Amino acid sequence: MAVIDAVDTLVDDFDLIDFLHTLCDRCVELLDVSTVGVMLEDPHGKLQLIAASDEHTRLLELFALQHDQGPCVDCHRSGTARLNIDLTSPMETGSFPVFAARARESGFVTTHALPMRLRATVIGAMNLFDTRRQDLSAADARVAQALSDVATIAILQHRTVAHANLQRSQMHAALKSRIYIEQAKGILAERWDASVDDAFDALRRHARAHRLGLTQVCRQLIDGQLDTTAIERT
């Protein structure tokens, strides 16, 4: 199913952000980890947070980017996976002590970072977090890297098929979409008096149920074209 999701991206209306959030969801389901975050390289070679499976992880990954440290940052630079990192061990977190402390404050004790890489091309990194002190098995590590690889191939393939310069324009569009999504999440969470994560899940369900792009739904909500009462709550 996860591979099918990736293959389905090779269509004209490919939604990068929704695809990467689906990748996060699949990793949580298949690998028995707590949360997942995905960062992609922008046209200037800098990492940008594009997707996270919940709000705590989103804020933690933004913290990593602001301080330019963390397993995802190291993984992107080296193109090499780092697995079973004990966030309570100064020896294992020596290159990102500030990030490790923040991660522990968020309740995480173990993390894994995998490159989004095709041969020598590294376009980002995927971070797995766990609130439990448990290692990723060798089999699960292979599954995690396979999902990361398939996602990388899907993204690069779509960029090639659509346009030679799509990598630049797609990243700009994704970053702009991220702003709309964060605004819409906040608006809906405030109106419902609900969590940001619940609001985001509702927006995604509404977009899929009505065959609309996630960014389109969020812009409609921000512009007042979409009544929050039309969005189904669980």
Tens digit of each residue's pLDDT (9 = 90 or more) over 42-84:
888 899 999 999 999 999 999 999 999 999 999 999 999 999 9
In sequence order, the 6+-apart residues with CB closer than 8 A to the CB of 48 are 39, 40, 41, 42, 65, 171, 174, 175
Find the CATH number of the domain harbouring 128.
3.30.450.40
Residues 153 and 77 in one domain: yes
Where does the pLDDT of residue 167 fall: very low under 50, low under 70, confident under 90, or very high at 90 and above? low
Q: Average pLDDT, whole number, for the chain?
A: 89
pLDDT of residue 4: 46
Residues 189 and 93 in one domain: no
In the chain, how many domains are there?
2
Where does the pLDDT of residue 231 fall: very low under 50, low under 70, confident under 90, or very high at 90 and above? very high
Where does the pLDDT of residue 1 fall: very low under 50, low under 70, confident under 90, or very high at 90 and above? low
pLDDT of residue 79: 94
User: What percent of the chain stands above pLDDT 90?
Assistant: 72
Residue 167 forms part of a structural domain:
no
pLDDT of residue 110: 97
| Residue 233: C-alpha distances to residues 42, 193, 199, 201, 203 (Å) | 35, 12, 9, 9, 10
Q: Is the pLDDT of residue 165 over 70?
A: no
Residues 208 and 125 in one domain: no
Residues 120 and 213 in one domain: no
Residue 168 forms part of a structural domain:
no
Residues 36 and 85 in one domain: yes
Residues 29 and 139 in one domain: yes
Residues 110 and 27 in one domain: yes
* pTM, entire model: 0.77
Domain of residue 216 covers: 173-230
Residues 211 and 121 in one domain: no
Residues 113 and 210 in one domain: no
Residues 41 and 113 in one domain: yes
